[in-house]
């Protein structure tokens, strides 16, 4: 979706601005990954819902026009993330 | 005769691999009972095995278990040749990544999820990637993020991004970092412009920052947003999209135009060599062939054509990539291309150096092809002929080897910039050096060249 671009960037950049601390012996990469997923959950979930919606729209119109699975249905390069 | 768990198989309380009387089994412990039952009853096992995404197994008698707390004993189908991510070309790693994500999608449809997304859980079976860790599935717990997300990003996304945006040779990093490339390392190695690519900015750069920020956090905070199934599916699709967008188009390499360049063989010579290889293979009748320095697999395919599973090793990632793309395009099942530097082959790695096997531990092959190879090792790399013979003795029972003499144009190129300290590098010297380890069964000169092709059989003590 065209309007999502700036938000993706803003989200990603905002996390980048968080001060990084140097790695040391007790580092636990698992916690950060867990939290990160929760942080982006709403965003990736919403993006997914939108993609599914558009696929259904395309499939619907593909059927309407009587073409079996138009090329557009799945193969258009979609907006990132 | 039983041994304990197989050397690499000890970290998982759910079960482990072990050998009994030379047969490989996977023990499922009581700890995993609920998940294993769901794997079967939900139809997930069937769905994945039938679509060739998961290695199939048979259930064996529980009495064959290695320890008392066994719930089930499985006999998985054997993988013909075990290979590791640092031996794969770009597209092999990419296909392994996409397979992992595909499996996760199917798992979600069946109320399950992968606990691991390690590249070592994927092997190549008849040319295609499959998951071999049957016990990696767990029943889906609503609201919880993907426990394997970090591993997926480190084992797959980071190396693929590095190979795409920096250099394909960075695939070798997984030899050093056996739990995947650390994300902050990937972050520093990737060019700055990757921070503008949303998928990489998210799953590598921002992800890395989050890891570092929470490195000291003892307890994960209560999430304010639940991690819904929709978010989960969105995450997987986001990763899939990120992987699909990573492409690598190889530039010209030293080796890729080798057969077209023509100063090694005339067309007739090339045909003759192919006939000879075919003839020698038929005579030796091997069940497994290793093609060492196999380039894009021209001769490996002669073996594969006869239905012989062939592993085709080459040092050049471009050749291996082209070879693999051909196997995919033609649906070939008997050729496995891999990246390997014979002068520095894959060592044994991991805990106690026993989790990942060295090249030698995965042999010997019935027959090895050493075509247009040995002059690179002897003259190019200063390996004495005698040592070379010992190497082959450990690696194969039959050997089809091409002797390329000093008069050959290719060897003259090698000697042009080196001092000729190889007085024994003659046909006689070669036969002498190999004579104690191998018996010469056939010797034929290749037409229109000075090269000689041999079929040798290892002498047994």
Residue to substitute from B148, B201, B243, interface A, most A β-carbons within 10 A = B201
Count interface pairs A-B at CB distance under 8 A.
147
List B58's β-bridge partners, or say none: B75
CA atoms within 13 A on the CB side of A2: 0
Q: Cα separation of B200 and B209, whole Å?
A: 13
How distant is the Cα of A58 from the closest Cα of chain B, in angstroms?
18
Integer Cα distance of B201 and A5 in angstroms? 12
Burial class (CB in 10 A: 0-12, 13-18, 19+), A76: exposed
Distance CA B442, CA B278 (A): 13
Q: Does A7 touch chain B (CB under 8 A)?
A: no
CA distance B228 to B244: 24
Tell whether B205 lies on the interface with A, counting CB pairs under 8 A.
yes
CB contact A36 to B (< 8 Å): yes
- CB-based contact, A57 to chain B, within 8 Å: no
Does B202 lie at the interface with A, CB-CB under 8 angstroms? yes
pLDDT level of residue A20 (50, 70, 90 thresholds): very low
ipTM exceeds 0.90, yes or no: no
Which residues, other chains included, contact A50 with Cβ-Cβ below 8 Å and sequence gap of 6+? A1
β-strands B289-292, B365-370 pairing:
parallel
Burial class, A7, CB count within 10 angstroms (exposed 0-12 / middle 13-18 / buried 19+): middle
Cα-flanking dihedrals φ and ψ of residue B152, to 5°? -60, -45
Query: What letter would DSSP give residue B171?
Result: G
pTM above 0.80, yes or no: yes
Q: Exposure of B380 by Cβ count < 10 A (0-12 exposed, 13-18 middle, 19+ buried)?
A: middle
Q: Which long-range contacts (CB under 8 A, 24 or more apart) does B273-280 make?
A: B273/B371, B273/B402, B273/B446, B273/B451, B273/B453, B274/B298, B274/B299, B274/B302, B276/B444, B276/B446, B276/B453, B277/B302, B277/B369, B277/B371, B277/B400, B277/B453, B278/B302, B279/B442, B280/B400, B280/B442, B280/B453, B280/B455
- Edge-to-edge strands, sheet with B365-370: B335-339, B310-314, B289-292, B365-370, B396-403, B452-458, B438-445
**Tens-level pLDDT at each residue, chain B (461 residues):** 555 678 778 888 899 999 998 899 999 999 999 999 999 999 999 999 999 999 999 999 999 999 999 999 999 999 999 999 999 999 999 999 999 999 999 999 999 999 999 999 999 999 999 999 999 999 999 899 999 999 999 999 999 999 999 999 999 999 999 999 999 999 999 999 999 999 999 999 999 999 988 877 766 555 556 799 999 999 999 999 999 999 999 876 667 666 655 567 888 999 999 999 999 999 999 999 999 999 999 999 999 999 999 999 999 999 999 999 999 999 999 999 999 999 999 999 999 999 999 999 999 999 999 999 999 999 999 999 999 999 999 999 999 999 999 999 999 999 999 999 999 999 999 999 999 999 999 999 999 999 999 999 999 98
Does the beta-carbon distance from B145 to A41 stay under 8 Å?
yes
DSSP secondary-structure letter at B78?
Answer: P
| Yes or no, beta carbons of A33 and B211 under 8 Å apart | yes
B223: contact with A, CB 8 A cutoff: yes
The pLDDT score that the predictor gives to residue A19 is: 44
Structure tokens at B290: 């290793």
Residue A77 distance to chain B (closest CA, Å): 9
A2 in contact with chain B, both atoms CB, cutoff 8 A? no
């Amino acid at each position: 979706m065209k309007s999502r671009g700036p938000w993706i960037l803003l989200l990603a950049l905002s996390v980048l601005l968080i001060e990084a601390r140097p790695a040391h012996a007790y580092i636990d990469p698992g916690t950060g990954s867990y939290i990160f997923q929760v942080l982006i959950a709403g965003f990736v979930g919403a993006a997914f819902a939108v993609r599914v919606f558009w696929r259904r729209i395309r499939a619907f119109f593909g059927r309407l026009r009587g073409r079996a699975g138009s090329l557009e249905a799945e193969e258009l390069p979609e907006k990132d993330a | 005769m039983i041994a304990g768990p197989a050397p690499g198989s000890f970290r998982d309380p759910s079960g482990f691999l072990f050998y009994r009387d030379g047969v490989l089994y996977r023990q499922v412990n009581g700890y995993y009972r609920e998940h294993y039952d769901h794997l079967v009853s939900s139809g997930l096992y069937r769905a994945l095995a039938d679509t060739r995404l998961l290695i199939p197994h048979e259930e064996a008698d529980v009495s064959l278990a290695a320890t008392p707390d066994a719930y089930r004993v499985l006999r998985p189908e054997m993988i013909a040749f075990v290979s590791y991510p640092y031996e794969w070309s770009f597209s092999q790693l990419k296909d392994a990544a996409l397979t992992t994500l595909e499996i996760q999608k199917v798992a979600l449809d069946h109320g399950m999820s992968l606990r691991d997304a390690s590249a070592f859980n994927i092997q190549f079976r008849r040319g295609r990637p499959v998951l071999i860790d049957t016990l990696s599935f767990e029943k889906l717990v609503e609201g919880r993020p993907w426990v394997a997300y970090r591993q997926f990003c480190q084992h797959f996304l980071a190396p693929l991004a590095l190979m795409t945006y920096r250099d394909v040779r960075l695939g070798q990093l997984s030899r050093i970092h056996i739990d995947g490339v650390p994300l902050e390392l990937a972050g520093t190695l990737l060019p700055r412009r990757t921070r503008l690519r949303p998928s990489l900015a998210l799953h590598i750069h921002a992800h890395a920052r989050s890891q570092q920020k929470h490195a000291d956090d003892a307890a994960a905070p209560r999430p304010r947003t639940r991690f819904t199934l929709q978010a989960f599916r969105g995450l997987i699709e986001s990763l899939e999209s990120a992987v699909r967008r990573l492409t690598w188009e190889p530039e010209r390499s030293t080796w890729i135009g080798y057969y077209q360049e023509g100063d090694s063989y005339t067309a007739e010579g090339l045909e003759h060599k192919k006939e000879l290889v075919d003839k020698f293979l038929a005579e030796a009748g091997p069940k497994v062939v290793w093609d060492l320095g196999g380039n894009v697999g021209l001769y490996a395919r002669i073996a594969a054509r006869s239905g012989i599973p062939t592993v085709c090793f080459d040092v050049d990632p471009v050749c291996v990539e082209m070879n693999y793309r051909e196997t995919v395009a033609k649906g070939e099942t008997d050729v496995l291309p891999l990246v390997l530097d014979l002068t520095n082959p894959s060592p044994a790695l991991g805990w106690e150096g026993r989790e990942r096997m060295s090249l030698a531990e995965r042999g010997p092959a019935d027959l090895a092809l050493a075509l247009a190879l040995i002059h690179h090792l002897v003259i190019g790399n200063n390996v004495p002929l005698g040592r070379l013979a010992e190497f082959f003795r450990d690696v194969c029972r039959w050997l089809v080897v091409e002797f390329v003499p000093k008069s050959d144009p290719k060897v003259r190129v090698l000697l042009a910039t080196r001092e000729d300290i190889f007085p024994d590098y003659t046909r006689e010297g070669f036969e002498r050096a190999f004579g104690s380890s191998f018996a010469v069964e056939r010797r034929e000169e290749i037409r229109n060249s000075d090269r000689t092709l041999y079929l040798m059989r290892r002498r047994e003590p």
